[in-house]
Structure formats: C-alpha cells, structure tokens
Amino acid sequence: MVAKKLVASISLALSLVGVVSGSTVDSSKIVTWDKYSLKINGERLFTFSGEFHYYRLPSPDLWADIFEKFKALNFNTASIYFYWGYHSPKQGVYDFEGVRDISKFLETAKKYGINIISRAGPYINAEVSEGGFPGWLTTINGTARTSNPSYDEAWKEWLTAVDKHLVPNQIGNGGPIILNQLENEYAVGLDPSYMVALADKYKKDGMDVPTTFNDPWTGGHWATGEGAVDIYGWDSYPVLFDCSHPDVWPSNVSTYFRDFRDSTNPTEPMALYEFQGGAIDGWGGAGFEKCRELTNERFAKIFYKNNYAQGATIQSLYMGYGGTSWGEIPTTAVYTSYDYGSPITEAGLMTPKAYEIKLQGAFLRDVKPFVSTTNTTAEVDNDAIRVDGIKDISSDTTFYIVQHAFSNTTNVDKFHVTVDTNDGKFAVPRKSGTAITLNGRDAKIITASYDFGSQHLLYATSDIFTHTQQDARDVLLVYAYEGEDGEVAITSSANKVQAYGTSAGVSSTLNKNVLQINYKYPHGSAFISATGKNGKELLLIVSGYDTAVKWWAPQTSKGETVLISGPYLVRSAEINGKRLALTGDTDATTNLEIVVSSAVKQVTWNGVNVSVKSTKYGTLTGKVSGPNKNIKLPDLTKSTWKYSPASPETTNDFDDSKWVAADHKTTTNPFPPTSLPVLYSDDYGYHTGSLWFRGKFKSSSDISGIKVNATMGYGSAWVAWLNGKYLGGETDIVKDFSIKQSDLEKSGDNVLSLLMWTTGHEEDWNVNDQYKTPRGFTEVSLTGSKKTPISWKVQGNLGGENIVDTVRGALNEGGLYGERMGWHLPGYPDQNWKKVSLPDTKRSGVSWYRTTFDLNIPKNHDVPLGIRFKESSSTERLRALLFINGWQFGKFANDLGPQTLFYVPEGILNHHGENTIAIGVVAVDEEVTLGEVTIEPYAKLLSGKPTVGVVNSPTYASRKSSH
C-alpha cells in the first residue's frame, strides 16, 4: 500500500514538472480482455458502470457522496466525460483548480473503489455547450473533428493539459482509470488520420490503458481498420426520449446484439459504453420525473437483463447521476437541471431504479460465472415469452433470461423454463400448479447448476440478489414480486427445513439428494433454514420485491458481505472484532435486520450504538432513528429584497466608449452574415450568456423601419430599444420594426440597443461545425432608400476570454449589466437599492433582485435544497438568471418551462450560515412581474454522508481588487 502510494506520488510529481511517461506499471498489462470480459490483474470483471460528470456537481466534497452511493448501488465503475470548455477560457489557458480539480475527483473515485472509464473527447456531446469545445474554438478557421491544422493544434493543447491529470491516475500508477475512450460517437464525416492522431497523442502523453470507442449505433466504426480502438462498443437508448408519453415504448424494442458483435469484433467483450439510464429533456419538455417514469425500474429490469442475455459484460448507464448544468454549461436545447431521470436524482436521492440497479449489481458482483458465458439452447412453454440461455465457459452454470417477446406488453404470463441441471433437464417450477410469472413489464434471470460456498444450487426460478458465507452457513437471497411462486432446489441429504420471518407458505420435498423448497413471495422476507450439501446449513432468504429493494449487501474492507434490510441507504459496513459499524441514511425511523457472522454482537449506525437482539434464525434486529422533520427553512416570501433597474445600456447617454467596436468586415464563421459589420459575439471574444449590441446611426428622412435577423439557440430571446424606447422583445429570429420619423433624434446619434439573452451553443454531432452557429445578428439594417450605415459596439461577459472570476470560471457569467458590475456576488453593497417584496410590481427592461438568508440545517442531516420560481403571470415572457453566492444555478424561462425548481448543491449553498441570492430578470415583453421565490427541500434525511465544506465563493470585494 505504502509502496503504491509512493509510486503514485512520484508519478504525480513527475507529471507536475511535465515529464509524463506512462504508468509505472504498464496499464495495458493490468487491464486485459478476451471475448467474454475485461480482466483486471487477470481477474474477470463485469464492468457495471454509471456516467457521472464532475462539472455537473461543482461541490468537490459531494463527489465523495456520489461515489459512495455508486458503491452502495454496486456499480464498480464510473464513466466520465472530461469537458475541455470547462477548463479553458482562452487558447493556451487551462485551469484544474477548485471545482475543476479532476485529480481530486479521480482520487475520490479511487478511495471508494470505483474504476474510471475516461472520456476526454476532445468532443463529448453530453448536452453541454459546443459539445464540450471551449468558446474560443468557434473562431478557428477549419472544421472541428477532422485533421484540419488549426483544430489539430487546438485539441492537442487540451490533451496535453488534461493528460497531466489522467496519466498519473491510471491503474498502472495506482489510480482508478482502466479504459480511455477516443472521441465520442464519431460516426459521420469520418477522418481516420484524426483518430490515429488522437491515439498517438494519448500514447505519447503516457496513456497506456486500453482504448475504447462508443459508436452511436451498431455501425462498426473504428472497430477494425485504420484508427481502430482496442475495445470497440456502442451506445443504445432503446426507449428514446419522449418523456411526455412515459408508458409508450416501441412495440418490440429488444435489441439483439450478439450476432453483430460476433461478426464485428469477435475477440472483444461486448461493450455498451452508453446504455439508456434516463432521458434528455429540453426547454418546454415534460420534466425529468416523466423521464424517470419512461426509464423506470421495470425498464431497467427488461433492458439491462436483455443486454446481459446478449453477452454484454461492459455496461455503462448514461447517466448514473445526472447533476446540474449550472451556469452556461447547457447546450442550447436544454435547461439547467440535468437530472436525466437517472437512478440517483439531481439532489442525490435514491429512486426505485437505483434500488433495482443495486439488486442487479450485487448479482453481477457475486455470481461470478455470469461474466463469461456463451449462448446455449433454452426452452419455454409459452410463446409470449422469450428465453435466452447463456452458459458459463468453465463450469456447468447456466442462466436463463426470461422476458416478454414484446417488451412493451403489460400482460401477465405464466410459464415454465427447461433448465439443465446435474439432475437432468426438466421444466421448472416442478411443483404442480405453480409457474414462473412475468407480471407486466418484467424480466428475470434464472440460475441453474451453480456452486456457491459449500452449496450446490440446482436452480432458482427467480432472481438472485446475492449469496455469502458466514461462519459455517451459507446465505442466499432471492426475490420476485409479492404473491409469485418461488422454487429453489439444492443438493441435500435431509429434508430439514424450518421457516421464520414473514409467512411464505413454505413446503419442501426431498428426492434423491435434491431438496426442493416451494413458497410464495411474501410482503416482507421469509428466512428459511435448510440442510444443504454435506449437511451444511443454507439460510435461504426470500423477499417480496418491495422488501428486496431495501436489502443492502455492502462488503467490508476485508471482503466480507453483510446483509442489511430496512434503510433508505446503507453506505458502508466494517467489522472490527465484535462490532459491526454501519453508515447510511434513513428517511424515517427504521427497523434493521442484519445477517452477519455470529461473532458480531454490537452494531453502530453512523457511530451511534444500536441496541440489537438476535433472532432464532441467527440474524440481528434493531431500530435506528429517522430525521428531524421539523427543520426550519427561511421563508423568502417574507424577506426584504433589494431591487435595482439594470439596463442603462438602453439610454442614449450611456457611455460605451470602453466597449469593443463591432467592426469586422469578414468572419471565419461558416454561417456568414447578410449585413455588415459582423455582429457575432464569438468573433469579439464573448462566448457566454447575455450580449449587448449598441448601434448608432444618423437620422434620415427615408428611414421607415429596422430589419433584424437574429442568430441564437432555442430558448433564447432578444429585446430592442430605440433611443431608450422599447421596440419589442422576441423569441423568434426575424422581426421588422416600423419606425416613425418622430421616433428619431433631430440631431446627434440614434441609438439602437439590442440585448440578447442566450442559451448555450449547439453541439457538433454531425461534424459540420454546427457548434459555431453564431450568437448575435446575421442582419440589422435600416429600411430606407439610402442604406444609412450603423456603427456598432458589443459587450458580453466582463473581460471576454480574459475572465475575471477565475474561481467560478468561464461558464458562470454573461454580459448583463448586473453581471458585469458584480451584483450577483456576495457582499455587493446594495444598501441604496430600493426595498421590495416578491411578487414585485411590473418592471420593464432588466431588473436585479438581491437578498440574503441564513440556513441552519441540523448536524447529521442531509437536506438537499432548491430555489423555486412561482410565476405570477404566465402571459408576460421573462428570462431570469438565478445566482446563489455568486454561482449561476438557474436559467428560468417562464413561458417555456418546464423547470421552476432549481437544485443548488450543499457547498455552493452554505447549510450552516449566510447565503446571498441574486436574480437578474430580463423583461422580454414590455413589462413583467417577478413572482414569489421560495426555498424547498427535496428530502429530509438523517445521513452518514461525508462532511461537505463550503466552496470558495469570492465576494464582490475580491472582484473589485482584481481590476
């Protein structure tokens, strides 16, 4: 251990001075593979992974919380996109500090035993602005994701920077990284020399774990030939993304991959680098709770088990934890929340799908023969059922995966499956009048001929959660929906069966050394003590599904499995002599039942003693407390808010002399403007958030209107003023304003002020530079015979590419007056602002609101919080930005929705002190009202989560001194 640490720190030191030379131990010798699975140090691994983006959780201490939850759900791996634009405000400038500290992130993964599939792009897609490219890349002259020289120079710079953190964290250096993905879904506009250059660059920098590629479909891209990776795989989202109809699945969505793999990359494990874990939702969408319904726990049963049936042994769920696309992270079509309907919610909470994943994950972890199988014949006596047989290559163990032939049916079907056992081949269940049931959308894995501990299982007609050996006895836990028949047969010489716990109608028969146990799945758990092989006891636990989901199977650092029933979450278990120390979370007072070695006499829960009793059948029971549900939260509807108008840019005497002149006559942008000068913000170094353009022109008697053609993403809006007077606000691109001569200045300049509230840039899925789609205007012209010229100034975020707030980074702010002046920051002196309460009265232009509030969340509680906008008017359109302690945590569009509740992670929010909230509101219509704003808890849990420190959040004072 010490040696490993030393090795890791030496290589870290080397990497810091830029001498990166691969792993101390060549990672490609540690991570190997064959057609069945990945192997780590020669040991097969079912790679059970979830996607997690550090940049969607900018509270580094919470990374530990999520990784610990991954572990609790029995994920052993996380797939991570590294996001170029998150680290680089300007060409040549890279930042890996604070919330961007990916070394800390990777070390945290390692601490919780989570392997990493590294995906540093350069392109990532991921619903982030520009698909992960930095803002400055929009102005390169050349197509991205090709061998174009300017793009080549740019991405090499990124890999040089990020590889310094990735290389020392490879498995050969004692780190968690086991695989390295090249590019992302690169399946159109293919340029093999670009793929080869990527592989070469990674290698040169010292990345020596096997390379991977995620094909967007079974297209065979980069599986063979020039640019091929080591372990090819693909993505699949079988129920797609229509969250507004969560019950509707394609009629037969079963995707049968085995033949494709066998013909495309027959020597590599079947890898699903992105398999649907939830769904995208965008502006005006159905909301993520609906996406979670579309991809619910029954979806997880059917589709994940279907993957296993096809032989997949690398499966990464996109997303495992979605998080928050805070600030300017989201690409144009999506809003702030990136909950994704994933197993762990945006606020870090458990869901039915998380529990289902935990059940599957324990099976994949503990039933080893499942990781190395070939297909075998299988029979079922009902045509409505599909059965896939898979057999271990090195034992007799066979698995039968059953699902409905039509995945979307909600029929109840009963049937028998023929299993191959060492007692012969026969249909199970054997007890007459009983059957295996698929009750609507469901799938099961039936195991046959399986040696575990001292036992031999002939078959079990329902799913195995886990098994373990404690003292002299074996424990096996199986589950199915309540009321369904269960039959388990083991090798035994005695019919000694004793049932405890919830009654399950247990019966048993012994026939030629086969002990057959029958029961019905109870509402609860039945504990069945049976005499198994060689007279050794088997404790068979049979749980109805609703109880099964509350079983946890953590492993101690010495590799012992402990079974705990009851809690909302069990994070960890350690055994020290007589004492079992558990950590976890409860949502109410909870009865525990613990299955552990008889040596354990004492139990602690989050460090507090639990008084436990032993049961007749050798388990421990006890009770742990729930949270305090009367936690007081501040009532922001009673707060005094400070208000300031915030669009002085609309007035003619506003001083824009320090603004950048928008005077370019040419652009490298592939989408050229129709009028000049070029009014594309990116061309002037402004890549994020709101933009101002001020145009000046002389009056002329022929002017009768202004023609405006905007270029912006979905969800954006723009507002126009002429000489301080509101002309109109638009969410469409094209508008012709008519102008009366009386609107124009008699002498001096007319000023046309245009404010654009933007959403992020497009992605680049099609390799056609779509990400460069400009933000600004393709045309602004005066209608009239003389073609009066307009001279322009442009303004965006303070400093442009030379960002001022290096702590919060390039994606926190845009160019609203309040953002440029630091009104979003804690400590801004707003004493002289007007006092108001919300809902406010009608306001026009841009308005800013600020207040502070204290939080005092009691010790050991996890109370994730969000800020809710309550609309007081639905007809007037507004766009708002929400800042908490200076961090932008919400983009609110009242006419689009669907998001009104904005999660703000602890760390960004100080749960034990003062917080500053600031809201910038753009009136798209002439006058708008900001409604009530409230603080809401997502849950109240008594929690054993790691301590969360407050994230460094510089105040207004530090911003001033940085000028």
Least Å distance, CB 142 to ligand IPT, is: 23
Least Å distance, CB 830 to ligand IPT, is: 40
Least Å distance, CB 129 to ligand IPT, is: 12
Q: Does 184 bind ligand IPT (CB under 6 A)?
A: yes
CA angle 227–230–231, rounded 5-degree value: 115
Q: Are 921 and 878 in contact (CB under 8 A)?
A: yes
Give the residue with the Cβ less far from ligand IPT, 33 or 318.
Answer: 318
Of 572, 571, 587, 574, residue with least CA distance to 624? 587
Q: For the chain, how far is it from start to end, CA to CA, in angstroms? A: 48
Least Å distance, CB 234 to ligand IPT, is: 9
Give the residue with the Cβ less far from ligand IPT, 127 or 862.
Answer: 127
Least Å distance, CB 41 to ligand IPT, is: 30
Q: Taking the CA atoms of the chain, what radius of gyration do you get in angstroms?
A: 30
Give the residue with the Cβ less far from ligand IPT, 124 or 896.
Answer: 124
DSSP string, 285-323: ---HHHHHHHT-HHHIIIIIHHHHHHTEEEEEEEEEE--
Is 801 catalytic? The answer is no
Give the residue with the Cβ less far from ligand IPT, 275 or 643.
Answer: 275
Distance CA 762, CA 588 (A): 44
Least Å distance, CB 235 to ligand IPT, is: 5
Contacting residues for 569 by C-beta, under 8 A, at least 6 apart: 69, 72, 350, 552, 584, 585, 941
- String of contacts with ligand IPT for each residue 260-299, x by CB under 6 A: --------------x-----x-------------------
Q: Are 906 and 62 in contact (CB under 8 A)?
A: yes
Span near ligand IPT by CB under 6 A; candidates 1-9, 123-131, 431-439, 779-787: 123-131
Site for ligand IPT in 318-357 (CB under 6 A): 318
Distance CA 959, CA 963 (A): 7
Q: Does 801 bind ligand IPT (CB under 6 A)?
A: no
Q: Which residue has the tokens 């002329």?
A: 700
Span near ligand IPT by CB under 6 A; candidates 124-132, 320-328, 364-372, 641-649: 124-132
Q: Rule CB under 6 A: choose which of 61, 208, 230, 235 binds ligand IPT.
A: 235
Give the residue with the Cβ less far from ligand IPT, 288 or 828.
Answer: 288
Give the residue with the Cβ less far from ligand IPT, 127 or 813.
Answer: 127
**Residue 622 β-bridge partners:** 592
Least Å distance, CB 898 to ligand IPT, is: 17
Span near ligand IPT by CB under 6 A; candidates 120-128, 644-652, 910-918, 951-959: 120-128
Q: Could you say which of 274, 560, 763, 801 is catalytic?
A: 274
Q: How far is CA 796 from CA 558, 757, 761, 891, 953, in A?
A: 56, 11, 15, 17, 22
Give the residue with the Cβ less far from ligand IPT, 197 or 240.
Answer: 240
Least Å distance, CB 184 to ligand IPT, is: 5
Peptide bond into 122 cis (omega under 30): yes
**Residue 679 β-bridge partners:** 777
Distance CA 191, CA 6 (A): 41
Q: How many residues bind ligand IPT (CB under 6 A)?
A: 12
- String of contacts with ligand IPT for each residue 130-169, x by CB under 6 A: ----------------------------------------
Q: Which residues of 291-330 are buried (b: 16+ CB within 10 A; e: fewer)?
A: bbbbbbbbbbbbbbbbbbbbbbbbbbbbbbbbbbbbbbbb
Is 185 catalytic? The answer is yes
Q: What is the dihedral of CA 82, 83, 87, 91, to 10 degrees?
A: 120
Give the residue with the Cβ less far from ligand IPT, 126 or 838.
Answer: 126
Of 450, 446, 399, 443, residue with least CA distance to 422? 450
Give the residue with the Cβ less far from ligand IPT, 219 or 789.
Answer: 219
Least Å distance, CB 203 to ligand IPT, is: 24
Give the residue with the Cβ less far from ligand IPT, 115 or 125.
Answer: 125
Least Å distance, CB 149 to ligand IPT, is: 26
Q: Does 316 bind ligand IPT (CB under 6 A)?
A: no
Span near ligand IPT by CB under 6 A; candidates 25-33, 121-129, 296-304, 630-638: 121-129
Q: Rule CB under 6 A: choose which of 116, 126, 166, 624 binds ligand IPT.
A: 126
* Crossing angle of the two packed helices 102-111 and 149-166, in degrees rounded to 10: 40
Span near ligand IPT by CB under 6 A; candidates 38-46, 125-133, 218-226, 515-523: 125-133
Span near ligand IPT by CB under 6 A; candidates 119-127, 198-206, 479-487, 790-798: 119-127
Give the residue with the Cβ less far from ligand IPT, 65 or 281.
Answer: 281
From edge to edge, which strands make up the β-sheet containing 641-645?
834-836, 641-645, 846-854, 914-923, 878-884, 887-893
Phi and psi of 432, rounded to 5°?
Answer: -70, 150
Q: Does 125 bind ligand IPT (CB under 6 A)?
A: yes
Give the residue with the Cβ less far from ligand IPT, 124 or 838.
Answer: 124
Q: Does 127 bind ligand IPT (CB under 6 A)?
A: yes
Least Å distance, CB 331 to ligand IPT, is: 9
Q: Which residue has the tokens 């007589």?
A: 578
Q: Are 338 and 277 in contact (CB under 8 A)?
A: no
Q: Does 129 bind ligand IPT (CB under 6 A)?
A: no
Site for ligand IPT in 204-233 (CB under 6 A): 216
Q: Does 593 bind ligand IPT (CB under 6 A)?
A: no
Distance CA 123, CA 131 (A): 6
Of 357, 268, 251, 377, residue with least CA distance to 305? 357
Q: Rule CB under 6 A: choose which of 46, 75, 84, 237 binds ligand IPT.
A: 237
Q: How far is CA 631 from CA 56, 145, 602, 936, in A?
A: 27, 51, 31, 11
Contacting residues for 722 by C-beta, under 8 A, at least 6 apart: 706, 737, 739, 743, 750, 751, 752, 753
Q: Which residues of 706-717 are buried (b: 16+ CB within 10 A; e: fewer)?
A: bebbbbbbebbb
CB nearest ligand IPT: which residue?
Answer: 125
Distance CA 616, CA 501 (A): 10
Q: Could you say which of 51, 130, 157, 185 is catalytic?
A: 185
Least Å distance, CB 361 to ligand IPT, is: 22
Span near ligand IPT by CB under 6 A; candidates 9-17, 118-126, 296-304, 352-360: 118-126
Least Å distance, CB 774 to ligand IPT, is: 22
**Residue 486 β-bridge partners:** 519
Q: What is the dihedral of CA 441, 442, 443, 444, to 10 degrees?
A: -170
Q: Which residue has the tokens 């022929």?
A: 702
Give the residue with the Cβ less far from ligand IPT, 124 or 480.
Answer: 124
Q: Rule CB under 6 A: choose which of 130, 163, 185, 649 binds ligand IPT.
A: 185
- Residues near ligand IPT (CB under 6 A) are 124-127, 184-185, 216, 235, 237, 274, 280, 318
The residues assigned a catalytic role are 185, 274
